[in-house]
Structure 1
Amino acid sequence: MGTFKIEGGHQLKGSIQPQGAKNEALQILCAVLLTPELVTINNIPDIVDVNKLISLLRKLGVKIEKIKDNSYTFQADDIDLDYLESDAFKVDGRGLRGSIMIVGPLLARFGRGFIPKPGGDKIGRRRLDTHFEGLINLGAKFRYSKEEQFYGVEADKLKGAYMLLEEASVTGTANIVMAAVLAEGRTTIYNAACEPYLQQLCKMLNRMGAKISGVGSNLLVIDGVEALGGTDHTMLPDMIEIGSWIGLAAMTKSELTITNVSWDDLGVIPNVFRKLGITVERQGDDIHIPAHTDGYEIQNFIDGSILTISDAPWPGFTPDLLSIILVVATQARGSVLIHQKMFESRLFFVDKLIDMGAKIILCDPHRATVIGHDYKSTLKATTMTSPDIRAGVSLLIAALSAKGTSTIQNIEQIDRGYERIDERLRAIGAKIERVE
């Protein structure tokens, strides 16, 4: 098990480029199963979760070649469907939550798709109902082995349907869209997820020959086609990593430039950080964060009441950045209420921050009030364990701002979502060492 040793309290300086988007990659890679033709994908992040999915696709029979760093070709012209019901697949598929999105493409193209109950972050229950209810609406027969925790869907031919999704699930919408593009007739999906990564998937599928309209809205209309062809696709930069670097700059009083951020796809993210008093400057397609040597002050609402920052489906604020916002608030002037609505257990890492000296009141599993120190008292170094990807990075940012040397264990969780994070942080002056 790997460990980071971090000497905190140092100002950083320079520029950092965000990796390709993890959450986009997991959707786009599954979409290569929809065609026997060659698909080229660029800006793929070199991270554990994505590499696991690439390995899974290879075991399924997809021909994969690395062109250069972060760029691959994929050709799914000889898929081994027997692997789907093998014991090996039941182990391989369970290790990655994103593997659920192979089901829609396999069902659409081959008439059957299987998946073991996927793993991923320990952040509470994450239902799969939206995925399978959507596929059932398209005509699939569903089966589930409770003993093996193994799901399956089968259909001779999918038929388009109208559906109103119970929740605007991103992965659920992606799965249904990938199945519907090869279904017979028209599919209408209302309350569809509409975040930029889902838009990227739809644009890629349209380039492959799909007929999807309403991209960017919560009402998608899909006219099924007989077959899809190959394409080239380039991932967006990872908005979660961009938000992480904004928070890092503020917490360490550092001047940083985050390059090539695709500003138009960031939604409310820059403004939420501005509400914490952080200066977020647009310079072309870069973000510049000046050194906050005098600190930063949380805004109140117009009526003077305490600011509340909560998560919501796109175009609301992404839940993946709430843990970063919470950490950044520990050194602000003022107080803020963090309301995590979408997942059950994502605030349970705050006890580590309290151990470091942060003033946080955990109201319940979904709400925490943060009283900022205004740098009058720095966080103290400690030893901690990363519980999941986003909390792990939040603790890493806390450690980089803290006085003394901290240790973070279970850094495999961080590696699942952040590419070579220690190397990239050292390049801008961070004192961080990886110890195996």
Structure 2
Amino acid sequence: MTLTDPAISTTTGAVLDGPALWSAQAHMPSVLGRQLVIERGEGSYLTTADGQRLFDGTAGLWHANIGHSHPELARAAHEQMLRLETYHVFGRYANDQALELGERLAALAPMERAKVILNSGGSDAIDVACKLARRHWQREGRGSKQIILSREHAYHGLHAYGTSIAGLDFNREGYGTESLVPETARVSADDIAQVEQTIARLGADSIAAIVAEPIQGTGGVNPPADGYLEGLQRLAREHDILLILDEVITGFGRTGEMFAAQRYGIEPDMVTFAKGVTSGYAPLGGVLVAHRLWEPFYVDSPDTPVFRHGATYAGHATAAAVALANLDVLERDGLVPRVRELEQVLRAQLDGLQQRQEAVVDVRVAGFLGGVSLDERLVNERVADRAVELGFITRPLRGNTLQLSPPFIVSDQEVVNYVAAIEQAIAEESQR
């Protein structure tokens, strides 16, 4: 290898030092010296190490649905750890909290007679769901069905499968191959006719599943085009392709229903979930599996195959106890119906923004999720930084978009104040 080999990295800049923690999804030279160290949280607000109070307008990474530092969830974790921190769920072993959570989730699932696979987060869940899709067709004797389709602008975590099916090219680049798992392909994010053309080009006999976020999150807060999800379901059924809904963001109330599948009338073969199942109080995710997929693995026969899934912390007892407490809070406090009210408040506040601010090119609302897209004159990162200075967190996303997804516990007035602060940040940056 020579010094001109592109695999060798050279730099003329000084190597920067800083904290030992290598931050996630960060261009490190841009964040060193600017990091906001969050020290405390209470309800919908955070406090930094230097004492700044911030409105958590993104609910962390879309997860703090019931707000921060809820005493009931803290007690649930404390009491469970005093009884049993965890025990694995491999083979004939299980723990009581994982079993109880499985029953609770199956009862909430947007498909009948669901089984529940538990793991540690959304990226885990995507890996398991894609592997099960391929395992299903292998077991059916249709081993040519291997390709996993996903949408342009999609984000499905950063494990090997999530990286491979990402519709955001920058998440797939730099690993020496177009796709870490080779049998993947992208389809149109909003044009069902183009999806149909892709299926015809690849051949339905080569396609195992299509994975879709009901509302794209990291890709820019993109609600589904009219008829798009219904079209995916129709094509999946017509061509014997499994439909996997990635509800890591939308699951557990973010759309005003427990799952977005219920809002949009979709009956998927699998649903991946995480984030909102514990409101971020413990790392937990999983897959809801329809009966046609799990039944062959439950046949009482020595010839029944094993689906090789599982990780050390799958079904973690403390995480499951926290999830159960979180579901109690969601249901007791009526937070899912409250989301429907908050959606209308957010929509009302964003409706006139495009008319008032010339730099706003589009606004999108679906459930308690909002996206504000800016024209090229502004940089969304700078607008987000200015919002922080004003005491409000928003997050820059693809498409020069700002993310709005506060906790479910906020008041109407807090939504009004939040949008007003974002508008002020946009107006000030427009005048620079």
Shared topology, TM-score over 0.5? no
Q: TM-score, normalised by structure 2?
A: 0.23
Q: Which has the higher helix share?
A: 2
Q: TM-score, normalised by structure 1?
A: 0.23
Q: Which has the higher strand share?
A: 1
